Every structure is written in structure tokens, then in C-alpha cells.
Amino acid sequence: MNSQVGGVKQEAFLPPEKDKQLKKACADFESLFVYELFKAMRRTIPRGGLLPKNTQTDSWDMVMDQHVSEELSRRNGGLGLQKILYEQVVKSMKAQNAAK
């Protein structure tokens, strides 16, 4: 069985269920990474402004950042980080199996 990753056909290395789990883990990592980027960017915004900051708006920002980061990761293969992670993990696993 062959799969296509980033426009390049690859020989199936993992069973379909494990492959699906690995792709989900890579997508989840990308989502978490983007969420952390959003948190870091929010810390650069000075406090104050038109609306005062409080725990409610901080909670809203956190939930919104989580949702947006998940959507960015889910749509159209994400930002590309999950593809790179997937390819590197598969490459590493193949190298480990070849060394055995």
C-alpha cells in the first residue's frame, strides 16, 4: 500500500491504524505549537486600551486561541509542521528498523 505525503508517494511503512495515530499526533503537536505562539504573541500586547483585561477576557482569549490553533492545524494539512514531523518520524523509524 502506498500513501502520498506532500505530493511524494511513500511506501507504506506503518499499519494503517498506527499511521493514522502518528498523523493525528503530528497534527496535535502542530496545534499545540501554534497555540503557544499565540500565547507568546498575546504577552507582547501592552495591557490597557479600550476594554480592561480581567480573568474573563483572559479565559476567552485562551479558548479562542485554542480553537483557532486547532482549526489552522486541521484545515488543508495545517501549516506544514505536521507534514515535516510525520516525514521525520517515519524516516527515523525506518532507519531504526534497518539498523536492527
Q: Is 53 helix (H, G, I), strand (E, B) or coil?
A: coil
- Region 60-76: mean pLDDT is 93
Give the whole-angstrom CA distance, residue 10 versus residue 4.
6
Residue 11 lies in a domain: no
Residue 69 lies in a domain: yes
Residue 20 lies in a domain: yes
Domain of residue 57 covers: 16-45+52-99
Residue 77 lies in a domain: yes
Q: What is the per-residue pLDDT for 57?
A: 84
Q: Which residues contact 35 (CB under 8 A, 6 or more apart)?
A: 65, 66, 69
Q: What is the pLDDT of residues 3-43, one digit of tens each?
A: 554 443 445 678 999 999 999 999 999 999 999 999 999 88
Domain count, the chain: 1
**What pTM value is reported for the model?**
0.77
Residue 1 lies in a domain: no
